[in-house]
Amino acid sequence: MDLKIESLSKTYPNGVQALKNVSLTIPHGMFGLLGPNGAGKSTLMRILATLQEPDSGRVTLGDLDVLRQKDDVRRILGYLPQEFGLYPKVVAIDLLDHFARLKGIVERGERKSVVEALLQQTNLWQHRFKALGGFSGGMKQRFGIAQALLGNPRLIIVD
């Protein structure tokens, strides 16, 4: 499933042009974008994650129109923003369970299994009952990865 970006542009109200006619086709696999601060990488990631609208252009993921079929895209998307907030008094297993519900994993047994497996995969199992406010920076990043992997996404965006 290719990700096709065609003539994507975004200018912010303050006049900063973050993207100017960006066109790119990304085939199946793992890819990264490198560039200096202010190059538009985060703007592009937010547009792909359906969190921000471009001024013009088109984005497709396989047969999906990313800009028009946002709910369908969100069902198959995992997203880890550059910075994300956590509830400091909530324990890891409870918040990941909550995120799993939001992601559509409603059956309790399946959700429990998925949450436990992700906590194991991200090396957070032994901290599952620890409040997120007590997590180190690396632990918070691993928790973010766990939530991005919920629902077996077909596209994972890490900013």
| Average predicted confidence (pLDDT) for the chain | 94
Give the alpha-carbon dihedral of 142, 140, 148, 36, to 10 degrees. Answer: -90
135: its two tokens: 């997590």
Which tens digit of pLDDT belongs to each residue from 91-123?
A: 999 999 999 999 989 999 999 999 999 999 999
The strand ranges marked E within the chain are: 3-11, 17-26, 56-61, 64-65, 77-80, 155-158
Whether the pLDDT of residue 57 is over 90: the answer is yes
Does residue 3 have a pLDDT over 90? yes
| Contact status, residue 47 vs residue 6, Cβ threshold 8 Å | no
pLDDT band at 144 (very low <50, low <70, confident <90, very high): very high
Q: Distance between CA 44 and CA 3 in Å, rounded? A: 12
